[in-house]
Structure 1
Amino acid sequence: MTQTITPIILCGGSGTRLWPLSRKSYPKQFSDLVGEGTLFQASVGRVAGAGFARPVVVTASDFRFIVTQQMTEAGVDPAAVLLEPAPRNTAPAILAAVLHIVASDPGALVLVTPSDHVVADVDGFRAAVAAGAEVAQAGRIVTFGIRPDRPETGYGYLELEGTGDGPQPLRRFVEKPDAATAQAMLEDGRYLWNAGLFLARADVLIAAFTAHAPAVLEAVTRSLAGAQPDLGFLRLDPAAWAEAEDISIDYAVMERAEGLSVVPFAGGWSDLGGWEAVWREMPRDAAGVASRGPVQALECRNTLLRSETEGQVLVGLGLEDMIAVAMPDAVLVAPMDRAQDLRQAVSALKVAGARQATEFPKDHRPWGWFESLALGERFQVKRILVHPGAALSLQSHHHRSEHWIVVQGTAKVTVEDRVTLLSENQSVYIPLGAVHRLENPGKLPMVLIEVQTGAYLGEDDIIRHEDGYGRG
């Protein structure tokens, strides 16, 4: 690469296509789906190191601390984390990042990448980006197309002028095809899967928005101008953001712009758009069975068995072309060919008022996470993990008391004016109404079991007296 590239990493998602592992509160990019770390961390790692500047991440407020925690674990320090007030699709998100970068580097070369894709050949990916960089520096918008190995109907396509391997002109974008059309395009050789990656000079992208989506440009410009810093994040102005059209970058700009180039890539890629795609990417035995967690497959073929529940075994007997995914609070069993219909199931759960439709069993917070182990009348049992050096807010409750038992690490506990260090197997009682705080002073994660008792056990029964995360 002759110029350093600034990555723009898009980190949103609705969490429906890989339910129940992926949900609105914790979409797929934050999970380890194929055994190589989380998708988000892998995406960050692909665009880190020589030739790349620190990335700009665009995400939702609810994900902000998950993003920073996982980036810290990956050893990457973001240049900025922009917080969207509401989902508005990829065009406003990308534009906000581009405008932010242009403010300090008008001639920046930017690479737009999703955070939830799998790329098997990282070196090949970087070589493809380097090949596209020369074309992008010359003023063209470059996209990347994946050489198809099957007639896939779940992806959009890019039609090229020819069948070469180097950067070449894009003829047109093609919508997701039916099976017959997909087979014909596979045989033709001039069609690639649209990977949703773009490389261009920042000023070229802004000019494209000026020409083809000026209203989006105007709204996002005002939203960035009114953005407010918050604990190292940058919150875009919600009023101006709401005026930006909810539209993808393809529809807003790319399908209208002229002079796009495509770099073909054949190094193995998937957007993991459904459980069948996850099955394809996972190691499989001779019978085509992919498994993860405490599972047992008996006389199964071409099946995915996955369990995320400790102490509970998922057994598949005589299954063929099936998906079975077990979580602590929900289980999915479906034919492999119905994997793309999961939105229907999630929608039905939402109508029924089931929290499992959108809420992940682990509730991630800036200091760590907690999960409910048991819930009954006037009691709840939780497992709580606190990251090294992290602390919960100084708080009290109107309706419940709590018992804490440390099972791993060391806890620093404040109850009113008393501060105590608790090691494994030690416990403390928090009376109703007492002002208290939990901290992890150690260098390893601290885990405790919390037993709540009281008339009301909702998460909104928290009075925060001090908080290091800007929460009320």
Structure 2
Amino acid sequence: MPQGSPKIVPVILAGGSGTRLWPASRDAFPKQFQPLTGDLSTYQETLRRVADPSLFDDPVVITSDAFRFFARRQAADIGVKATVVLEPARRDSAAAVAAAAAFAEKISPGSMVLALAADHVVLDDEVFRDAVRLGLKAAEAGKIVVFGLVPTEPKTAYGYIRPGAALGDNDDLCLVDAFVEKPNAETALDYLRQGFLWNSGNFLFKASQMLAEFGKYAPDIGAAASEAVDKASEDIGFVRLDPDSFSTARKTSIDYAVIEKTGEIAVVKGRFRWSDVGAWDAIWQVSEHDGEGNAVHGDGVVLASRDCLVHSQGILTTVIGAEGLLVVATPDAVMVAPREQAQAVKGLVDALKEGGRNEATLHRRDYRPWGYIEALVAGPRFAVKYMVVDPGGVLSLQLHQHRAEHWVVVNGTATIEIEGEAPRLLTINQSAYVPLGAKHRLSNRGKIPLELIEVQSGAYLGDDDIERIEDVYRRT
């Protein structure tokens, strides 16, 4: 890092979804928060990549209201203190980057910003940080620095960059001659011969410079984002962008809004291994393989097979005598496809949505601010669920008009409040009955996770039968 340079503010863009990675990734729990290639999610891996205190300041995470507790919890799980900024509406990457620049400039005037997608995989963290250091001098001089990757094959799913003249004495830092759209296979091969780079879509810039470029090329987006930051509010530790201001921003990408128009642009030739893991074939490519080219994540067994991916969440998944298959299993859905059909998964999800299938968007495990609840079995008038309440977690004071509930503690100690009864503790193998219509609340004041089995019975069991009266997470 050049002497006297300010620390870089990492901004992690974590608000998207990944339908091509169904059934693991769904709208309610998207790919950036999923452990797709190891024990950590790509979001957590990204946070760890920018945790060097000699180079980076504490990160800022931009995500949606629906994912705010995921983002904060997963950061805390790896010991990262992050400021979580909430977008009130999806407006694509242009508005998110503009808000990131405005927020960074507000909290640290003159700051440098590294904007990263939360759902990318980088396999060489130190090489990545070297690329950031290389681009820093150009960013301080007013250039927006994009990270290009030296292609390993003629990919048609990526945009490309034509590098121009070198900046200084390092050929890995250049001006940008042109950005080009996703090519066909023949054109992509020609790009490789000409030395074009893949466009990773990650950027390093001075916050004030990015805001100035928005002023030139997308003033409406820049003004909407800046106003949303100026009028932002605090909400139990989250920063909420002003919804009225932010919603006026056009929905478009940062590439179209600014990057492909500005003349203040440079590129670092990244030497690190990278993937945007946009589909299951990309997961296979970045995974460790056995001697036959198979990759297994989770509880999977592969016999007499070649070049297959098995990704299993919670159930034993086996493959025999196959070649080039993608096999993805979750507790409520299984997807099998040839690797060359990986992009077709999006169409499958669209068809499931049209058919009204909940599996298209929802998981059996539903994460809540206090922990999670997982559906085990359901019938016409009953449902059985497994609940985990984090230490310090408190469910809302609530009631149900159409169902009664029975709680059985299987681990930890529960503090329960039921209308008409004195508050009491429940320990392992103890239970409590919650009558229909009774106000009730459950909390975990202990130091270990509280685990329960909940049995619901009644004429209607939907979540919209929850009438919240008080809630520490402000969901009333």
TM over 0.5: yes
Query: Equivalent residues in 2 for 1:7-86 (5 A)?
Result: 7-48=10-51, 49-78=53-82, 80-86=83-89
Task: Determine helix, strand or coil for the equivalent of 2:463.
Answer: coil
How far apart are the structure 1 equivalents of 2:282 and 2:115? 23
- 1:67 and 1:5 map into 2 onto residues whose CA distance is 20
For 2:307, which of 302, 309, 333 is the aligned residue? Answer: 302
Tell me the equivalent position of 1:224.
Answer: 229
Of the three residues 293, 296, 319, the one matched with 2:298 is 293
**Cα displacement (A) at 1:371:** 1.2
**How many angstroms apart in 2 are the aligned matches of 1:369 and 1:98?**
34
Counterpart selection for 2:178 from 172, 178, 181: 172
Unmatched 5+ residue regions in structure 2?
none
3-state SS of paired residue (1:216)? helix
2:187 corresponds to 1:184: no
What displacement does 1:185 show? 1.8
Aligned to 2:343: 340
SS of corresponding position for 1:52: coil
User: What is the distance in 1 between the residues matched to 2:299 and 2:56?
Assistant: 40
Q: Residue 121 of structure 1: which of 117, 124, 127 is its match?
A: 124
Is 1:452 the counterpart of 2:456? The answer is yes
Partners of 2:422 and 2:469 in 1: CA distance: 16
| Distance (Å, rounded) in 2 between the aligned partners of 1:255 and 1:376 | 55
Q: Structure 1 residues 63-72 or 166-175, which shifts more?
A: 166-175
Match of 2:111 in 1: 108
The SS at the match of 1:152 is: coil
Q: What's the TM-score once normalised by structure 1's chain length?
A: 0.96
Deviation at 1:122, TM superposition (A): 0.7
Tell me if structure 2 keeps the 8 A contact 1:399–1:454: yes
Q: Give the distance between the partners of 1:145 and 1:471, measured in 2 at CA.
A: 42
TM-score (normalised: structure 2): 0.95
1:279, CA displacement in angstroms? 0.7
Structure 1 stretch displaced more, 254-263 or 414-423: 414-423
Residues 1:410 and 2:417 are matched in the alignment: no
1:329 aligns with 2:332: yes
| 1:154-186 deviation digits (Å, cap 9, x = unpaired) | 111111126964311111111111111222222
The corresponding residue for 1:392 is 395
1:15/1:26 contact within 8 Å kept: no
Residue 164 of structure 2, aligned match among 161, 178, 181: 161
Query: Aligned residue for 1:151?
Result: 154
* Distance across 2 between alignment mates of 1:400 and 1:6: 49
Distance apart, 1:125 and its partner CA: 0.8
Give the CA RMSD over aligned residues: 1.5
Alignment of 1:202-213 (within 5 A): 202-213=207-218
Match among 224, 249, 269 for residue 254 of structure 2? 249
Residue from 426, 438, 455 that aligns with 1:422: 426
Counterpart contact for 2:18–2:278, Cα < 8 Å: no
| AA aligned opposite 1:233 | F
Aligned: 1:96 with 2:96: no
Distance 1:247 1:357 in 2: 25
In 2, the alpha carbon distance for the partners of 1:405 and 1:21 equals: 29
Q: Which moved more, 1:423-432 or 1:220-229?
A: 220-229
Q: How far apart are the structure 1 equivalents of 2:147 and 2:475?
A: 41
Identity %: 46
Q: Distance in 2 between matches of 1:162 and 1:204?
A: 22
Q: CA deviation at 1:105?
A: 2.4
8 Å CA contact retained: 2:142, 2:264: no
User: 1:133: which partner in 2?
Assistant: 136
Q: 2:203 aligned with 1:194, yes or no?
A: no
Change (3 A) 1:259 1:100: closer
Mapped contact 2:405–2:457 kept (Cα < 8 A): yes
Q: What is the alpha-carbon distance in structure 1 between the residues aligned to residue 188 and residue 138 of structure 2? A: 29
8 Å CA contact retained: 1:82, 1:233: yes
Equivalent residue, structure 2, for 1:280: 285
Cα distance between partner residues in 2 of 1:341 and 1:166: 36
Deviations 1:252-285 (A, max 9, x none): 0000000311111122111111100101111211
Cα deviation, residue 85, structure 1: 1.4
1:318 to 316, 321, 335: 321
2:271 paired residue number: 266
Give me the whole-angstrom Cα distance separating, in 2, the residues matched to 1:459 and 1:438: 17
Once the two structures are TM-superposed, the CA of residue 455 in structure 1 deviates from its matched residue by 0.9
Runs of 5+ in structure 1 lacking a partner? none
Between the aligned partners of 1:424 and 1:157, the Cα distance in structure 2 is 58
How far, CA to CA, are the matches of 1:452 and 1:193 in structure 2?
52
* Residues 384-410 of structure 1, C-alpha deviations (whole Å, 9 max, x = no match): 111111111111111111111122222
Distance 2:35 2:107 in 1: 35
What secondary structure does 1:215 align onto?
helix
Kindly tell me the number of residue pairs found equivalent between the two proteins.
468
| Matching residue's letter, 2:180 | V
- The one-letter code sitting in structure 1 at the alignment partner of 2:172 is G
Aligned partner of residue 345 in structure 1, secondary structure = helix
Conservation of the 8 A alpha-carbon contact between 2:9 and 2:111: yes
Report the Cα distance in structure 1 between the residues aligned to 2:426 and 2:65, rounded to whole angstroms: 33
Give the residue type in structure 2 aligned to 1:155.
Answer: Y
CA distance in structure 1 between the aligned counterparts of 2:149 and 2:86, rounded to whole angstroms: 30
